Amino acid sequence: MFSIDSYAYSNKLRKVHPAEKCAFAMVTLIICLAASSLLTSLAVLLIMSAAVVGYAGIPFRVFAGFMSLPVSFLLVGVLTIAVTVSREPGVYLWGLSFWGFNLGITAAGVAAAVILLFKSLGAVSCLYFLSLTTPMIDIIYVLRKMKVPALFIELMTLIYRFIFVLAETAEKIYTSQSSRLGYAGVNVSFSSLGELASTLFIKSFHRSQMLFQALSSRCYTGGLNVLDNYYEFSIKNMLFIAALDLGIAALSLYSGGGQL
Protein backbone atom coordinates (compact mmCIF):
# COMPACT_ATOMS: atom_id res chain seq x y z
CA MET A 1 0.00 0.00 0.00
CA PHE A 2 1.35 3.44 -0.92
CA SER A 3 1.82 5.94 1.89
CA ILE A 4 -0.73 8.29 0.33
CA ASP A 5 -3.26 5.45 0.44
CA SER A 6 -2.49 4.57 4.06
CA TYR A 7 -3.08 8.20 5.10
CA ALA A 8 -6.38 8.19 3.17
CA TYR A 9 -7.57 5.30 5.36
CA SER A 10 -6.25 6.59 8.70
CA ASN A 11 -6.80 10.37 8.68
CA LYS A 12 -9.21 12.20 10.99
CA LEU A 13 -11.62 13.05 8.13
CA ARG A 14 -12.04 9.38 7.17
CA LYS A 15 -15.62 9.23 8.49
CA VAL A 16 -16.74 12.45 6.82
CA HIS A 17 -19.11 11.89 3.90
CA PRO A 18 -16.92 11.50 0.76
CA ALA A 19 -19.33 13.64 -1.28
CA GLU A 20 -18.64 16.58 1.03
CA LYS A 21 -14.88 16.18 0.61
CA CYS A 22 -15.18 15.73 -3.17
CA ALA A 23 -17.42 18.79 -3.47
CA PHE A 24 -15.06 20.89 -1.38
CA ALA A 25 -12.00 19.82 -3.38
CA MET A 26 -13.62 20.13 -6.82
CA VAL A 27 -15.40 23.48 -6.27
CA THR A 28 -12.27 25.00 -4.74
CA LEU A 29 -10.21 23.61 -7.61
CA ILE A 30 -12.51 25.18 -10.19
CA ILE A 31 -12.40 28.56 -8.44
CA CYS A 32 -8.61 28.38 -8.23
CA LEU A 33 -8.27 27.56 -11.93
CA ALA A 34 -10.84 30.17 -13.03
CA ALA A 35 -9.27 33.00 -11.03
CA SER A 36 -6.09 34.69 -12.22
CA SER A 37 -5.38 36.24 -8.86
CA LEU A 38 -2.31 35.50 -6.78
CA LEU A 39 -4.28 36.21 -3.61
CA THR A 40 -6.87 33.57 -4.54
CA SER A 41 -4.20 30.96 -5.23
CA LEU A 42 -2.44 31.71 -1.93
CA ALA A 43 -5.78 31.53 -0.07
CA VAL A 44 -6.57 28.15 -1.64
CA LEU A 45 -3.09 26.85 -0.83
CA LEU A 46 -3.38 28.06 2.77
CA ILE A 47 -6.90 26.67 3.31
CA MET A 48 -6.07 23.27 1.83
CA SER A 49 -2.85 23.05 3.86
CA ALA A 50 -4.80 23.85 7.02
CA ALA A 51 -7.46 21.27 6.12
CA VAL A 52 -4.91 18.53 5.45
CA VAL A 53 -2.59 19.24 8.39
CA GLY A 54 -5.00 20.73 10.93
CA TYR A 55 -8.26 18.86 10.32
CA ALA A 56 -7.12 15.59 8.74
CA GLY A 57 -4.08 15.22 11.01
CA ILE A 58 -1.58 14.52 8.23
CA PRO A 59 1.95 15.45 9.44
CA PHE A 60 3.18 18.71 7.94
CA ARG A 61 6.44 17.17 6.74
CA VAL A 62 4.47 14.52 4.83
CA PHE A 63 2.23 17.09 3.16
CA ALA A 64 5.22 19.34 2.39
CA GLY A 65 7.00 16.34 0.88
CA PHE A 66 4.07 15.59 -1.42
CA MET A 67 3.78 19.27 -2.40
CA SER A 68 7.49 19.43 -3.25
CA LEU A 69 7.14 16.66 -5.86
CA PRO A 70 5.56 18.81 -8.62
CA VAL A 71 7.58 21.94 -7.79
CA SER A 72 10.55 20.99 -9.98
CA PHE A 73 8.28 20.38 -12.99
CA LEU A 74 6.37 23.60 -12.34
CA LEU A 75 9.56 25.68 -12.05
CA VAL A 76 10.77 24.44 -15.44
CA GLY A 77 7.38 25.24 -16.96
CA VAL A 78 7.03 28.75 -15.53
CA LEU A 79 10.61 29.67 -16.49
CA THR A 80 9.63 29.36 -20.13
CA ILE A 81 6.88 31.91 -19.46
CA ALA A 82 9.12 34.33 -17.56
CA VAL A 83 11.72 34.42 -20.36
CA THR A 84 10.80 36.56 -23.38
CA VAL A 85 12.39 36.36 -26.84
CA SER A 86 11.57 39.19 -29.24
CA ARG A 87 12.99 41.37 -32.01
CA GLU A 88 11.28 44.41 -30.51
CA PRO A 89 13.17 46.46 -27.90
CA GLY A 90 11.60 46.48 -24.45
CA VAL A 91 12.21 47.09 -20.77
CA TYR A 92 13.95 44.03 -19.44
CA LEU A 93 14.88 43.32 -15.84
CA TRP A 94 17.70 41.23 -17.27
CA GLY A 95 18.41 40.49 -20.89
CA LEU A 96 20.81 39.72 -23.70
CA SER A 97 20.91 40.84 -27.34
CA PHE A 98 22.25 38.66 -30.13
CA TRP A 99 21.73 38.54 -33.90
CA GLY A 100 18.93 41.10 -33.71
CA PHE A 101 17.02 39.22 -31.03
CA ASN A 102 16.38 40.29 -27.43
CA LEU A 103 16.23 37.57 -24.79
CA GLY A 104 15.40 38.52 -21.23
CA ILE A 105 13.02 38.66 -18.33
CA THR A 106 10.36 41.35 -18.10
CA ALA A 107 8.26 42.39 -15.09
CA ALA A 108 5.09 41.21 -16.86
CA GLY A 109 6.66 37.83 -17.60
CA VAL A 110 7.74 37.37 -13.98
CA ALA A 111 4.24 38.32 -12.77
CA ALA A 112 2.60 35.83 -15.14
CA ALA A 113 5.03 33.10 -14.10
CA VAL A 114 4.44 33.71 -10.37
CA ILE A 115 0.64 33.68 -10.83
CA LEU A 116 0.79 30.43 -12.83
CA LEU A 117 3.14 28.80 -10.31
CA PHE A 118 0.90 29.48 -7.31
CA LYS A 119 -2.28 28.70 -9.28
CA SER A 120 -0.79 25.28 -10.08
CA LEU A 121 0.26 24.73 -6.46
CA GLY A 122 -3.22 25.70 -5.29
CA ALA A 123 -4.82 23.25 -7.72
CA VAL A 124 -2.39 20.51 -6.67
CA SER A 125 -3.19 21.14 -2.99
CA CYS A 126 -6.91 20.56 -3.77
CA LEU A 127 -6.11 17.20 -5.35
CA TYR A 128 -3.81 16.25 -2.45
CA PHE A 129 -6.57 17.11 0.00
CA LEU A 130 -8.88 14.67 -1.79
CA SER A 131 -6.20 11.98 -2.17
CA LEU A 132 -4.97 12.16 1.43
CA THR A 133 -8.41 12.22 3.07
CA THR A 134 -10.55 10.01 0.81
CA PRO A 135 -9.78 6.38 -0.12
CA MET A 136 -10.37 5.33 -3.70
CA ILE A 137 -13.34 3.13 -2.73
CA ASP A 138 -15.10 6.23 -1.35
CA ILE A 139 -14.40 8.20 -4.53
CA ILE A 140 -15.85 5.32 -6.55
CA TYR A 141 -18.86 5.37 -4.20
CA VAL A 142 -19.43 9.06 -5.02
CA LEU A 143 -19.05 8.42 -8.75
CA ARG A 144 -21.70 5.67 -8.53
CA LYS A 145 -24.08 8.05 -6.78
CA MET A 146 -23.45 10.60 -9.55
CA LYS A 147 -24.49 7.97 -12.13
CA VAL A 148 -21.12 7.97 -13.86
CA PRO A 149 -21.08 5.22 -16.54
CA ALA A 150 -20.23 1.81 -15.07
CA LEU A 151 -17.60 1.16 -17.73
CA PHE A 152 -15.63 4.25 -16.69
CA ILE A 153 -15.80 3.28 -12.99
CA GLU A 154 -14.76 -0.29 -13.74
CA LEU A 155 -11.76 0.84 -15.79
CA MET A 156 -10.82 3.25 -13.02
CA THR A 157 -11.03 0.49 -10.41
CA LEU A 158 -8.95 -1.97 -12.43
CA ILE A 159 -6.29 0.64 -13.26
CA TYR A 160 -6.09 1.56 -9.59
CA ARG A 161 -5.66 -2.10 -8.65
CA PHE A 162 -3.00 -2.73 -11.31
CA ILE A 163 -0.93 0.23 -10.13
CA PHE A 164 -0.38 -1.72 -6.92
CA VAL A 165 0.30 -4.92 -8.85
CA LEU A 166 2.95 -3.17 -10.95
CA ALA A 167 4.55 -1.48 -7.94
CA GLU A 168 4.63 -4.69 -5.89
CA THR A 169 6.07 -6.74 -8.76
CA ALA A 170 8.70 -4.11 -9.58
CA GLU A 171 9.76 -3.89 -5.93
CA LYS A 172 10.21 -7.66 -5.66
CA ILE A 173 12.25 -7.84 -8.88
CA TYR A 174 14.41 -4.87 -7.81
CA THR A 175 15.06 -6.41 -4.38
CA SER A 176 16.02 -9.72 -5.98
CA GLN A 177 18.39 -8.01 -8.43
CA SER A 178 19.95 -5.83 -5.72
CA SER A 179 20.66 -8.86 -3.53
CA ARG A 180 22.69 -10.26 -6.45
CA LEU A 181 24.65 -6.99 -6.94
CA GLY A 182 22.54 -6.18 -9.99
CA TYR A 183 23.09 -2.45 -9.50
CA ALA A 184 26.76 -2.47 -8.47
CA GLY A 185 27.91 -0.51 -11.53
CA VAL A 186 26.60 1.68 -14.33
CA ASN A 187 26.71 -0.98 -17.06
CA VAL A 188 25.26 -3.64 -14.79
CA SER A 189 22.53 -1.21 -13.67
CA PHE A 190 21.42 -0.54 -17.24
CA SER A 191 21.35 -4.26 -17.97
CA SER A 192 19.39 -5.00 -14.79
CA LEU A 193 16.96 -2.17 -15.51
CA GLY A 194 16.24 -3.60 -18.96
CA GLU A 195 15.66 -7.05 -17.49
CA LEU A 196 13.40 -5.52 -14.85
CA ALA A 197 11.26 -3.75 -17.47
CA SER A 198 10.86 -6.84 -19.66
CA THR A 199 10.18 -9.18 -16.72
CA LEU A 200 7.78 -6.67 -15.19
CA PHE A 201 5.68 -6.66 -18.36
CA ILE A 202 5.53 -10.48 -18.54
CA LYS A 203 4.74 -10.95 -14.84
CA SER A 204 2.12 -8.16 -14.85
CA PHE A 205 0.42 -9.69 -17.88
CA HIS A 206 0.39 -13.08 -16.16
CA ARG A 207 -1.06 -11.62 -12.95
CA SER A 208 -3.72 -9.75 -14.92
CA GLN A 209 -4.77 -13.04 -16.51
CA MET A 210 -4.89 -14.68 -13.08
CA LEU A 211 -7.02 -11.81 -11.78
CA PHE A 212 -9.43 -12.13 -14.69
CA GLN A 213 -9.74 -15.89 -14.07
CA ALA A 214 -10.40 -15.24 -10.37
CA LEU A 215 -13.12 -12.73 -11.27
CA SER A 216 -14.63 -15.12 -13.82
CA SER A 217 -14.77 -17.90 -11.22
CA ARG A 218 -16.85 -15.51 -9.06
CA CYS A 219 -19.43 -14.98 -11.82
CA TYR A 220 -17.89 -11.74 -13.16
CA THR A 221 -20.18 -10.35 -15.88
CA GLY A 222 -18.60 -6.96 -16.53
CA GLY A 223 -19.46 -5.24 -13.25
CA LEU A 224 -17.61 -5.12 -9.92
CA ASN A 225 -20.19 -5.15 -7.13
CA VAL A 226 -18.95 -4.17 -3.67
CA LEU A 227 -20.70 -3.18 -0.45
CA ASP A 228 -20.84 0.57 0.14
CA ASN A 229 -20.10 2.16 3.50
CA TYR A 230 -22.86 4.13 5.17
CA TYR A 231 -22.32 7.89 5.51
CA GLU A 232 -24.49 10.74 6.73
CA PHE A 233 -24.43 14.26 5.36
CA SER A 234 -23.49 16.94 7.87
CA ILE A 235 -25.37 20.24 7.50
CA LYS A 236 -22.65 21.91 9.56
CA ASN A 237 -19.91 20.70 7.22
CA MET A 238 -21.87 21.69 4.10
CA LEU A 239 -22.47 25.22 5.42
CA PHE A 240 -18.81 25.50 6.37
CA ILE A 241 -17.70 24.36 2.90
CA ALA A 242 -20.15 26.75 1.20
CA ALA A 243 -18.91 29.65 3.34
CA LEU A 244 -15.28 28.89 2.54
CA ASP A 245 -15.85 28.60 -1.22
CA LEU A 246 -18.00 31.74 -1.28
CA GLY A 247 -15.24 33.55 0.59
CA ILE A 248 -12.61 32.38 -1.91
CA ALA A 249 -14.85 33.39 -4.84
CA ALA A 250 -15.46 36.81 -3.26
CA LEU A 251 -11.72 37.26 -2.74
CA SER A 252 -11.15 36.43 -6.40
CA LEU A 253 -13.71 39.02 -7.51
CA TYR A 254 -12.31 41.59 -5.08
CA SER A 255 -8.74 41.12 -6.27
CA GLY A 256 -9.92 41.67 -9.83
CA GLY A 257 -8.03 38.79 -11.43
CA GLY A 258 -4.63 39.11 -12.94
CA GLN A 259 -3.51 41.42 -10.18
CA LEU A 260 -0.70 40.73 -7.75
Confidence of residue 239 (pLDDT cuts 50, 70, 90): very high
Q: Which pTM value belongs to this model? A: 0.78
30 DSSP β-pair partners: none
For residue range 60-118, what is the model confidence (pLDDT) as tens digits?
A: 999 998 888 888 788 888 777 777 777 766 666 676 677 777 777 777 778 888 888 89
pLDDT band at residue 204 using 50, 70 and 90 as cut-offs: confident
Question: In which band, very low, low, confident or very high, does the pLDDT at 46 lie, cut at 50, 70 and 90?
Answer: very high
Percent with pLDDT over 90 in the chain? 19
- At residue 260, the pLDDT reads 42
